[in-house]
Structure 1
Amino acid sequence: MVSMTMLAVTITCVFSCVIGGIESMRGVNQKFKVPAGNTTTAVIDEQRSIAHGNEGRCDVLYDRKCFNLIISRASMPLGEAEVVCKEAKGKLANVYGEEHFNMLRALLRSRTNIGAGGNSAWFGMTVDESTRRVKLSNGEWAPYTRWTKSRPYTPSRPYIGFYVHYDNLNTDYQGYRDLWSSQTQHGVVCESKVPWEQ
């Protein structure tokens, strides 16, 4: 008799958790209505949901800043990446030194799909076209720069993406790539204040 009662309570708890999860997802979907038939809007909606799901955690904690990698099912141009970071209450990330670069490179490699050659993400840095040097989003020169082989192009493109090769950590194809804003990356790294100090 006691075991039947415990079984009934367990089933009720599981059922409540499942229904609660569905209601929670419904709430997220209600917040960002997607017009029927608009695939691009549906992808942006998915990215926003992922961004909201990242609130309160840090993939990488560095110098009292929180860095989160948000990967999209469909690659995104720079404008969409900016929206995703804004939804996550952050901005496109900067790289603040060699140690930080290596931490973010490891993060991108860890989120590469099995069988994919590599992974890429937007960052908030830009290329000064006259000097080909990298600037942080605040206009200061970047303290550390590592380009992939043959980059930046001549003339250079103004925006920065970060590419990592899945198989080989020491390859020349790990680092920054200069891009046009219309080009796409697999995701974006967003920078924000650490959640417990906001």
Structure 2
Amino acid sequence: MSVSYVCITAILLPSSLGLIVDHNTSDANSNDPVLPEQVKDYVDQKISDVTRKMLELHGMCQVRYGEHCFFTEYYGIGQVNQHAAKYICEEKGAELGNIYSKSQYDKLVYYMTPWIAARVNEHPGFGVRTGMTINPQSKVVYMSDGSRAPYTPWATSKYPTSNEGATTVWLVIYPQDSNRSGMENHIESGATDAVLCQVKIK
């Protein structure tokens, strides 16, 4: 069953914004007032803040970056294939996550390292499935929306591999050896330990 979160919020506008209605520029066939741009921006920001807080309450905003909240779901060593990963995120109203920048990557690793390390006991590292893919021949990495990935922190010099079937991109985190952490590409049928999901909040 898919889970959806609906929030109805009353937003009080500060008097300093000044609710201005310009009747001269209003559409003659419309009853809607023309709001100044700063009021629209203020309302959008408040809605974004409320959405983020709701996601935090449900454990779905472990890391915030830009227009997205990110969260990780851990299911056990080698339990998450591509189909399961997509299903896990979609059941929470999210989608498979992407890496957008070094700053975001560093925040995710900083959060995930102790969080999942506590769950894998003596296992040296863990894999986290993302929504990113790669063309093994051209070495071009793509985001889940098909755009080219702007940042690709490969784990070691052996990645990305040119294995024809290694089209999915994982994050691999080693709590005791951060120099080995980063991206790896593997075959789609391979299984990771966790999944990275993202929710747009703007």
In structure 2, the residue matched to 1:79 is: 83
* 1:185 equivalent in structure 2: 192
Q: In the alignment, what sits opposite 2:61?
A: 58
Correspondence for 2:71: 68
Q: Which position in structure 2 is the counterpart of 1:103?
A: 107
Q: Secondary structure at the match of 1:84?
A: helix
Distance in structure 2 (CA, Å) of the matches to 1:91 and 1:131:
26
TM-score scaled by length of structure 2: 0.65
- 1:104-159 per-residue CA deviation (whole Å, 9 max, x = no partner) reads 11222122133221121100000023311211111111111111111111235110
How big is the shift at 1:57? 3.5
On the 8 A contact 2:56/2:62 being kept in 1, the answer is no
Q: Number of paired residues? A: 144
Aligned ranges for residues 1-198 of structure 1 at < 5 Å? 55=58, 57-73=60-76, 75-110=79-114, 111-112=116-117, 113-149=120-156, 150-156=158-164, 157-169=166-178, 171=179, 173-194=180-201
Once residues 56 and 149 of structure 2 are traced to their aligned partners in structure 1, the CA distance between those partners, rounded to angstroms, is 30
Give 1:53 shift: 11
Higher share in helix: 1
Change (3 A) 1:53 1:106: closer
Deviation at 1:54, TM superposition (A): 7.7
Q: Give the alignment's TM-score, normalised by structure 1.
A: 0.66
> What is the identity percentage for the equivalent residue pairs of Structure 1 and Structure 2?
22
Closer/same/farther in 2, CA of residues 54 and 153 from structure 1, 3 Å limit: farther
Return the letter of the residue paired with 1:59. Q
Query: Where do 5+ consecutive residues of structure 1 fail to align?
Result: 1-30, 33-51
Name stretches of at least 5 consecutive residues in structure 2 with no aligned partner: 3-54
